[in-house]
């Protein structure tokens, strides 16, 4: 069992941090298995804190189930001191982070040349899948025991965002297995990338219905659902519907997953793996196509050159540039932001040829983070350059929130950009060349699922 110390915030919703003993359904099943081992009953102790599947199936246990789901999602999303998280690995494969260590499994990710037996990928995939399954299980428990509770919408949102992350970051063919009330695994079948985003839309639609019916207590979860749905629809190539989905979300809205210094599991992995382990550095023009994150000195991409023990990475060679967006173990991580709603509206306007509303959307997002407005005179003349501007604004506004890899893939899939003009390419600084990968590879471990063989394809 772990002591979970997390809070989730959004406009109109600020939950106090509290110390809670939690366990997921899978963990409860593991405890039962341990209890089945009879060693002569040398000790017979009744543990009042022991959670069993049956004990989680009461209305009084819903807070425990919810806290466990939030904790699992946090580890999958922003990681921990022991788990890298989706933000880190998607940033490493894209152009946000560059490797500063020696581990070959992580170099495969940064170099875009992954193998299916990559143990780092296996752990990363398990973490986000565990977060998705835990949230889905929690939503089911609320549906049975307290269906009108706004927290049911929150759990559906987390399951939806986990699906979005799997669709954006991993290759086509991700299976969605579930956890039964007894803790058993119900194996899922591979789904295409489009099917994954469609599943996410369904989760967000359900969340929005429940959150709206809940009234004031559901406002933050309704806004989160709108942003999540807009993000999923954008990935499906339906920008107009995505813009309609996010209409009315306040630009100042923010729903964050909080971390804590309480335990290693609760630490922000985005902080820990840079500051404590020195594994990667903030990129700058990586592989020719990468954005100038450092050179631009844009305040939305805060960083500092490391000194002393943080001057170079784990490899004792690579200069360490430390991100300042998450400066300590307890740094919260945005999951759903109002600025993303404005960026979605801007993209829909650009696709419709409406450059006036395109600038309005970009400038609304820029204003929310203290950036000066872009003038109409500064708008690039060509459609291609305007698209470059949009995706650069998205990259800076949404930096290190696991959006960039999905955006690079969309530039290929939806806008026809060749992969070698989008992803880092050419000579790799640790030797050899960048490979062709444009997504994370589902690891060999998933073949324990009898329904799964390998990725359906490695396309964007």
How distant, in Å, are the alpha carbons of 69, 95, 237 from that of 32?
Answer: 20, 45, 46
Cβ pair 172, 457 in contact under 8 A: yes
d(CA 312, CA 376) in angstroms, rounded, equals 42
Per-residue model confidence as pLDDT tens digits over 241-282 = 999 999 999 999 999 998 999 999 999 999 999 999 999 999
For helices 150-169 and 219-235, angle between their N-to-C axes, nearest 10 degrees: 20
- Over pLDDT 70: what percentage of the chain? 88
Rounded Cα distance, 291 and 51, in Å: 48
Nearest Cα neighbor of 111 from 101, 119, 123 is 101
- Work out the number of other CB atoms within 10 angstroms of the CB of residue 317: 12
Neighbours of 51 (CB within 10 A): 22
Task: Write out pLDDT tens, residues 289-302.
Answer: 999 999 999 999 99
3-state DSSP assignment of residue 345: helix
- Whether the Cβ atoms of residue 117 and residue 444 lie closer than 8 Å to each other: yes
Distance CA 273, CA 84 (A): 7
Q: Which helix (H) or strand (E) holds 98?
A: strand 97-99
- 3-state SS assignment for residue 440: strand
**Model confidence over 176-221: pLDDT tens digits?**
998 787 778 899 999 999 999 999 999 999 999 999 999 999 999 9
| pLDDT value for 51 | 56
């Amino acid at each position: 069992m772990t002591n979970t110390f997390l809070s989730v915030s959004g406009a109109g919703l600020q939950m106090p941090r509290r110390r809670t003993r939690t366990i997921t359904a899978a963990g409860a099943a593991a405890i039962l298995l341990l209890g089945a081992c009879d060693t002569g009953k040398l000790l017979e102790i009744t543990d009042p804190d022991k959670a069993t599947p049956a004990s989680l199936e009461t209305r009084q246990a819903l807070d425990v189930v919810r806290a466990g789901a939030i904790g699992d999602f946090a580890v999958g999303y922003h990681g921990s001191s022991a788990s890298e998280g989706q933000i880190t690995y998607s940033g490493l494969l894209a152009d946000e982070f560059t490797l500063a260590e020696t581990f070959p499994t992580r170099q495969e990710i940064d170099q875009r040349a992954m193998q299916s037996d990559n143990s780092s990928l296996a752990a990363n995939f398990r973490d986000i899948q565990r977060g998705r399954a835990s949230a889905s299980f929690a939503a089911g428990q609320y549906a049975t025991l307290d269906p009108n509770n706004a927290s049911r919408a929150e759990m559906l949102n987390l399951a939806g965002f986990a699906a979005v992350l799997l669709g954006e970051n991993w290759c086509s063919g991700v299976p969605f297995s579930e956890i039964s009330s007894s803790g058993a695994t119900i194996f899922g079948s591979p789904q295409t990338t489009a099917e994954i985003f469609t599943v996410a839309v369904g989760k967000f639609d359900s969340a929005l219905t429940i959150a709206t019916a809940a009234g004031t207590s559901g406002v933050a979860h309704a806004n989160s659902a709108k942003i999540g749905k807009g993000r999923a629809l954008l990935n499906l190539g339906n920008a107009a519907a995505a813009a309609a989905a996010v209409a009315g979300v306040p630009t100042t809205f923010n729903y964050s997953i909080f971390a804590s210094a309480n335990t290693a599991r609760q630490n922000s992995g985005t902080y820990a793996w840079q500051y404590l382990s020195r594994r990667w550095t903030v990129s700058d023009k990586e592989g020719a196509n990468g954005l100038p994150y450092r050179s631009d000195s844009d305040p939305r991409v805060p960083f500092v050159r490391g000194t002393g023990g943080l001057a170079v990475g784990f490899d004792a060679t690579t200069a360490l540039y430390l991100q300042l967006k998450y400066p300590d173990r307890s740094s919260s991580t945005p999951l759903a932001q109002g600025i993303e709603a404005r960026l979605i509206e801007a993209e829909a306007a650009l696709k419709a040829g409406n450059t006036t509303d395109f600038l309005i959307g970009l400038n609304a997002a820029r204003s929310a983070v203290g950036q000066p407005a872009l003038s109409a005179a500064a708008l690039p003349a060509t459609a291609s350059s305007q698209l470059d501007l949009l995706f650069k604004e998205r990259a800076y506004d949404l930096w290190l929130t696991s959006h960039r890899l999905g955006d690079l893939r969309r530039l290929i899939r939806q806008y026809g950009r060749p992969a070698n003009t989008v992803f880092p390419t050419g000579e790799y600084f640790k030797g050899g060349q960048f490979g062709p990968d444009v997504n994370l590879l589902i690891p060999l471990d998933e073949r324990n699922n009898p329904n799964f063989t390998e990725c359906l394809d490695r396309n964007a």
